Homo-oligomer: A and B are copies of this chain.
Amino acid sequence: MNELRKDYFLDRWVIIAENRSNRPQDFAEEKKPKAKKEGKCYFCPGNEGMTPPEICRIGKNDSWTVRCFPNKFPATTPESGRLEENFLTKQPAYGRHEVVVETPTHGESFGDLGVGQIKDVLYVYSERIKDLKKDKRIRYVMVFKNEGTEGGASIGHSHTQIIALSMIPTLIRNEVNASKKYIKENGKCPFCEMVKKEVKGERRIFSDKNFIAFAPFASRFPFEVWIMPKRHARSIELLKDAELHSFAEMLKNVISRLNSILNYPSYNFYLHISPENEDLHFHLEFCPRVSKLGGFELGSDIVINIMPPEVAAKHYRDGI
C-alpha cells in the first residue's frame, strides 16, 4: 500500500509508492564512465597551469593524488555586501567556490578508488572546511559531489566541489532548528536515535564500530543512503583517524555496491556539518539520481519514490 512517510524529525514528506515496480533493473540505464579523454582535461596532471592557483594538494613536488583549487566559474562572488531586505531581498553571494580533484587518473570512478585514497579526499574536505571557516564572514561550508550527467556534473574527471557562503543554507537551518526542538522535547539527538533505531533494523546497510550506513525511513530517492558516525560528532574535522577510516570504507562500500547493482549511475552526495555554535550531528547524504523530479515534486515539496528503503537496503546488503 502506498504510504505517506515523514522524515524522522524534519517536516519533509515522501510518498513511497510500492505499487510501482522496484527491481534494480527499472533504474539501470547508464553506462560506466569511459577512461577515454575527449579534448584536454583541465583536471589532469600536466595541466595544473590551466586551473586557478592551487590551494593545497596531497602529494609531493610534481606529483599529486588529491588537488584543490578555486573554481574558475564560481557561483560565489568576492564582494561582500549588506542584505537588502524588502520585497526584493538580495545580497552579493559572497563566498568561496573550490574544486577537489579526487584522483590524478582521468576516468577513474570515485567508488573504485582505494580506501586510503578516499580517506585522503575526506581529509582534504576537513582541511578546507577548517581553513574556510577562518574567514569570519563565512557561516557555512557545503561540500558536495555531482557524479554523472543526471547528477549535474559538467566535467568527467572525478571531483568534489566546496561552496562557502555568508549564510546558513535553508535546509541546514531547518535541520539545526528541528534537531534542537527534538532535543528539547526528547532529551536526545534525533541522529543518535536514528543510529540506535536503524543499526538493527531492515533499513541497515553496513555498520562497524564507528559508523553506520542505512536507507532513511523517508527516502526521497531510490537507493538513498545516509552515512553517519555512531557517536555525536559535530563535523568531519572532529573525527579521529580510525573514524575517518571507517567513514572512507563505508562510503566506498556503498558507492561500489551501487555501481555494481546499477552499472555506475549518476549520484550526488553532500555533507551536513554543524554550523558554528550549533550542535548538529554530522552526516553524509548519498542520493542516486536514477529517477526524475517532476511537477508534483516541484509544486508540493513531496517526493514520490517508487523504491521502498527497506527494499533498497536489501539490495545493498545482498549486492543484487
Contact = CB atoms under 8 A, between A and B. Distances in A.
Interface of A: 1-6, 8-9, 11-13, 15-17, 19-20, 73-77, 79, 87-93, 142, 144-146, 149-153, 161, 163, 165, 167, 169-172, 174, 190, 193, 197, 217, 268-272, 285, 287, 292-302, 304
Contact of A88 (B8, B87, B145, B272): B8
A15 B74 CA distance: 11
Given A93-B4, A170-B302, A144 B19 contact: no
Contacts of A16: 93
Copies in the complex: 2
Contacts of A150: 292
Nearest to A78: B1
Contact of A3 (B90, B163, B170): B90
A171 B292 CA distance: 19
Between A75, A299, A304, the greatest number of chain B beta carbons within 10 A of the residue's beta carbon is seen for A299
Contacts of A269: 295
Given A4-B90, A19-B77, 15 more contacts: A4-B165, A5-B89, A13-B167, A15-B76, A17-B75, A75-B296, A87-B193, A161-B295, A171-B299, A268-B294, A268-B295, A268-B299, A270-B298, A285-B298, A287-B298
A234 to B, nearest CB: 17
A6 to B, nearest CB: 4
A144 B299 contact: yes
A12 B92 CA distance: 16
B88 A294 contact: no
A106 to B, nearest CB: 21
